[in-house]
A and B are shown apart, each in its own frame.
Chain A
């Protein structure tokens, strides 16, 4: 079974631009979450989607947005990029949104550098 796939793996943007990152969850997984990882702030929750609906949102500005498609694939978008948005963006999938079972599987991330 293929793992969580994120594309692109690496990208470089300049301040003010926008970026879209893509995530394909493990087959059969319907819940997708996004995290930002930086050396200074560590791993921080961005948002969670299930059945195309955002269920939870972290403490990030509105420049960060996401969506989920009917096939459970997800995208996140960051508009008006700032230098501080440079980070590893991790996508994670899980079979369901609720319940007490089911491991959260992470992808290898998309490393964004903002110049």
Chain B
């Protein structure tokens, strides 16, 4: 059972554009929603995370928007750069189980110069 659905599977954006990746979850017990960035040959690295008590969180060019009623959250990358080209994973976990992340399928982002 896929508990976190991520779209799109791949995304091509021009340099300077906005990259948007969407995720939807099913389990209302989830209360921690991180986004991870993974470069080829590397492990995933935490990019930004949000909890359901806020609707938006911004860190630099990266913003998470969270819609608790719709059980959806999204990652916006503003002013996308070629160095942002990577695979992005959304994830979710339950209280007390923050090491047991349920990951989305991933989005391969390519930012063209």
Contacts and interface: CB of A to CB of B under 8 A. Distances in A.
Nearest to A57: B100
Interface string A76-115: 0000000000000010101001111011111111000000
Contact of A58 (B36, B42, B44, B100): B100
Contacts of B42: 108
Interface in B81-103: 89, 91, 95-103
Given A42-B105, A42-B106, A43-B89, A108 B99 contact: no
Nearest to A90: B43
Interface in B18-67: 32, 34, 36, 41-46, 51
Contact of B46 (A42, A43, A98, A103): A103
Interface size bucket, B side? 20 to 34
B109 to A, nearest CB: 16
A71 interface: no
Given A42-B105, A42-B106, A43-B89, A106 B43 contact: yes
A104 B106 contact: no
A92 B98 contact: no
25 contacts: A35-B101, A42-B89, A42-B105, A43-B89, A43-B101, A44-B103, A45-B100, A48-B99, A55-B99, A56-B97, A56-B99, A56-B100, A58-B100, A90-B44, A94-B99, A97-B99, A100-B95, A102-B98, A104-B46, A104-B101, A105-B45, A105-B46, A106-B36, A106-B45, A107-B43
Given A42-B106, A45-B100, A45-B102, 7 more contacts: A42-B89, A42-B103, A58-B100, A90-B43, A94-B99, A97-B99, A102-B98
Interface of B: 32, 34, 36, 41-46, 51, 89, 91, 95-106
